[in-house]
Chain A
Amino acid sequence: MSIYWITALGTSASCFLFKYLGHSVPESWLAHPRVQRINLLIPVALLSALVAIQTFTDKTKIVVDHRMAGVSFAIAAFIAKLPFPIAVFGAAVVSALVYRFA
């Protein structure tokens, strides 16, 4: 099986497992404030790391290129409270323009 299918099915299985377990355990199990707190913070850490890696790396090298222009546009768009699709597809347009003309 290719890495793509393994990733697709493995991610699906693990995500479903968490959803299903949550429906099947007593509510008190996960009520500890520490669990709740860390659970809210995990996405913040992972998503911030993903922004960094996807914007500034190529394989294992740190690079600054056209993607930074696109992501900067997205950040400005979110600050300006523009809707998600406009921010994200706008970022793609800005990045493509810099890629082509810079």
Chain B
Amino acid sequence: MSVKRDSLSLSFAVGVYGAAFGAASVAAHFSVLQTCAISLLTFSGASQFAAVGVVGAGGGAFSAIATGALLGTRNGLYAVRMAPLLNVRGVKRIIAAQITIDESTGVALAQNNEDDSKIGFWWTGFGVFIFWNIFTLLGAISAGLLKDPAAYGLDALVPAAFVGLVWPRLTGKRSYYLAILAFIFALSLAPIVPAGVPIIATSLLAAFVGWRA
């Protein structure tokens, strides 16, 4: 029982961030409908913020999709981890795939036995899905009512959200160095290449830094 309770409270806490995404997306000139479509169909926080962020910064669709996709690769590795446990096919596999994210995988892996892991995965996955989409809509509608996004700080809300997304991933020296390197590298490229490219280019830094053990 406590797995379900933990799953739902985590889902609510995470889902509230959906409001920040809704606001950020509308500030990047996506419509409310497009914003809600992204939360329903993409359903991966970092990828969503990145895709609308790249477009908001003047980048093209290709840069935006590539950045969002690169941030979505980790869900694929989570799925590899979850597949033997869930053992689902057909429509159930499609549903399981869509809700394979940081939180559902995290809760599943934190359990002591397979039954609780399954419950944790499904309850957290569905829970986050429901709250994330509700709060996306609320955030998008609220932001849509504002005339000048900068006057309400929405232009700072997006980078602040990225700080929050990268923060828990800064574990150990290697990740700190890479973060600083990527920060400087992106800013040095920004004046000389099209918008969006400096961001994707840092994935090469990640490959370089992670190549050796």
Contacts and interface: CB of A to CB of B under 8 A. Distances in A.
**Which label, helix, strand, loop or mixed, suits the secondary structure of the B interface?**
helix
- Give the one of B56, B65, B82 with max A CB within 10 A: B65
**Which label, helix, strand, loop or mixed, suits the secondary structure of the A interface?**
helix
A99 to B, nearest CB: 5
Interface residues on A, range: 35 or more
Contacts of B60: 3
A54 B153 contact: no
Interface string B57-88: 11011001101111111111111111110101
A83 to B, nearest CB: 8
A60 B153 contact: no
B103 interface: no
8 pairs of A and B residues whose beta carbons are closest in the complex: A22-B79, A70-B156, A92-B153, A95-B156, A91-B160, A12-B41, A49-B186, A96-B153
Interface of B: 13, 16-17, 19-20, 29-31, 34, 37-38, 41-44, 46-53, 55-58, 60-61, 64-65, 67-84, 86, 88, 93-94, 96-98, 100, 150-167, 169-170, 174-175, 178-187, 190-192, 194-195, 198-203, 205-207, 209-211, 213
20 contacts: A4-B30, A6-B65, A7-B52, A8-B38, A11-B42, A11-B65, A12-B42, A18-B73, A22-B76, A37-B213, A38-B210, A44-B170, A49-B185, A50-B50, A53-B199, A55-B156, A61-B191, A87-B164, A94-B153, A95-B155
Interface of A: 3-12, 14-16, 18-25, 27, 29-30, 33-57, 59-62, 66-67, 69-71, 73-75, 78, 83-85, 87-89, 91-97, 99-100
